[in-house]
Amino acid sequence: MPNKEKNNLALNLSGAGFGKFHNVSLSNFAEKAYLDYALSVVHGRAIPKLSDGLKPVQRRLLFSMVEMSLRSDSKPVKSARVVGDVLGKFHPHGDQSAYDAMVRMSQDFVMRYPLIDGQGNFGSRDGDGAAAMRYTEARLTAFANVLLDEIGFDTVFFLPNYDGSYQEPLELPARLPLCLINGASGIAVGLSTEIPSHNVGEIADGLVAILDNRKISNNEILNIIPGPDFPGGGQVINSRSELAEIYLTGKGTFITQGRWFVEELARNKWRLVFTELPHGVSVQKVLEEIDELTNPKIKANRKSLTSEQNKQKAMMMSYLLSVRDESDKNANVRLVFEPKNSKTSKEEFIQLLLSKTSLQSSSSVNLVLLDLENKPKQLSLREILFQWLDFRVKIVRAKFSFKLSIVQKRLHILHGRIKILEAIAEVIKIIQEHDNPKIKLMKRFALDQEQVQDIFEMRLRQLAKIELLNIKGEIIKKKEEETIFLKVLKSKKSLEEQTKKEILSLKKLYGDNRRTLLKESAKVTFEAEVSEEKITVIISYNGWITIKNGHDIKISNIQFKAGDQYNLLFECTNLDHLISFSTSGRVYCRALLELSELKIPELPFSSLVEPAPNESFHTFFVGKPNDRFIVLTQYGKGLTTQMDKVLSKTRVGKAFLKLDDDDKPLKIIPIPKEESALALLTNNGHLLVIGTDSVKELFSGGRGVKLIGLRPGDQLRSACLVGENGLEFGALTKQGQSKILRFSRNKLLDFIGKRSQKGRKINSRLKIESMK
């Protein structure tokens, strides 16, 4: 085909929604693809959020454990159960990586304030790995409540999980900045983060100081938060000016050393004992370094030790007699160095060990986080504290707004009860004498539907006189709570005061002494899964539902009731949702997981919901919360929406489609991710092909837009997406004979039009019965 014809065909197909055709440079495409991958790693794996200080796998583990009720006061369960649950629901990646993240959150030599309480072998500071997840057990620590206690107060947004079957929090409502308190480490594409841990008390004091004075200087902040506080202690020897520069720029290097003392022995002998090591350094690592210095190995492609190896060996052997690990349950670290001669200079001995081993180390600092706009950014300590306080004030506002709404709803109910109990005789009379007492009660006592419903659910013993006194007492209590909540919510200043109060409370609860010594010194030189199952849903024309395990179910093996017939089949999973638009335009939803657990061979959809007497169901769809689809009506109208916008937990459904008189939902068409074309067929045999992107999105429902213009007396008969091979029509001749018409994609170019056009007649001599 000539290039000109190819270009014309590409333009025509693009206009019909068949997809756009254009040339792309391979280098540009590869660059964009790699950028997408890089962003995915940054947001989904390596860089923690400033708000809660967690990476996605950590957040999912903690949230999953809350869902499993594994609080600090509960009985621990096998780690394999936790890992399986988080993989199945939220984190479809390797089980070992999830377990490793769980192990790290339980190790008190990695986390300054561990979030998981591990039972069993969860590894050691010497580099020993944790036991397999089938042997260990876990639950949350009490400190994890700092992240999780407020998750039930409508404080954070929830998003669908990877398959849309569950909801997971976008972030946790942290009550302290975990990004600073426990630190973080991660390597993404093109950037990395390395944040040291800090002391809870110092961070809390810093936050309070900012709330008291928003113009606080960097120097004043550094007076309160002077430096990192590592889990294993040790000491940081950077000068104050160096620390100030690190926290101002968000990058730099901490020089850390172990802590030691000289143990005096009899006969003027002594030995050097290290009781704390630099962060990330183990006793085993130091021993291996000493062995490498005193017992060097011949390097590859050489016959003997190098002169440098011999020099280092001679130097170490001239000072060191022996080294041994005396660590035990009473001393996490006790590393003993014996000098070769008691007359050896203690200063020189210490300098030798610090300079030649990891007893003196460098810890890089790179304060990179996903900020409140979810963008990776290098921040200063000041910026982190200020941004986190903005986040926290927002959470406090959401929490108290939620509490206020609960209290006000309760007061609303209680006021209704007061009205009823004060006129209980009249109420009983109304209930006895009227066919619809709810309406009468609502008018007589100025009640709303919610109050009347509560009254009808009251037990007889709640009608006693003493109950009236209890309600009045509860109203007084609730009003006091309402006053407190309104006082907190009245201004930003009051919200900040509440935030300050909560921070100080947490400091009192979790504050402890600093472990890491800050001692300025020069760097020493000597010359750290509900399983998803495949199911098939078969729906009859009269709305009967049949669920079979697996896929590839033969319709011929399904028996339908007399007068009923096959309508639809969906191959899906038990984690999907089934929806139906009734003849009134309401949408009803049921989770397939619930239906598959009923173990009933078949049942009518109407028995699963509570429709109005005049409603019936013929239009169905099965999908996941993020699936998009088009809903079409017999009068040729339609709209695009998304599954999660129509899902409802109530059996009475929700109003969605606004239908004209006598109009009814006709069909639901799923929309693929790539551009596609929608074919519309009327009863009179007119066909119109339009792009799916021309159908207006209405996530809140409505009347939709006219997709095809209908001639008088005509209605929309069918609709479907145009396949790779075009369309196939079932037709009848004037003599009643069946005939099949096949239109290729090129043939369908004649029927391409704009939305609301009337389309073209397919064949004036045939009656078109079906289209697929």
**Annotated active-site positions, please?**
135
Pairing of strands 368-370, 376-378: antiparallel
Render 602-628 in DSSP notation, one character per residue.
EEEGGGTS---TT--EEEEEEE-TT-E
Nearest CA among 95, 110, 98 for reference residue 62: 98
Q: b or e along 519-538 (b: 16 or more beta carbons within 10 Å of the residue's beta carbon)? A: eeeeebeeebbeebeebbbb
Rounded CA-CA distance 429/441 in Å is 11
- Total residue count of the chain as it appears in this document: 772
> CA torsion, points 216, 217, 222, 225, in degrees to nearest 10?
20
The Cα-based distances of 472 to 89, 410, 412, 447 in angstroms read: 45, 12, 13, 18
Q: Which residue has the tokens 């306080």?
A: 389
Pairing of strands 534-540, 544-549: antiparallel
The Cα-based distances of 581 to 244, 479, 540, 604, 647 in angstroms read: 63, 43, 15, 15, 11
Contacts 24+ apart (CB under 8 A), 8-13: 9/746, 12/749, 12/752, 13/745, 13/749
Render 355-413 in DSSP notation, one character per residue.
HHSTTEEEEEEE-EEE-TTS-EEE--HHHHHHHHHHHHHHHHHHHHHHHHHHHHHHHHH
Dig out the tokens for 100 from the structure: 């490793």
The Cα-based distances of 47 to 43, 52, 61 in angstroms read: 6, 12, 16
Query: DSSP 3-state assignment of 514?
Result: coil
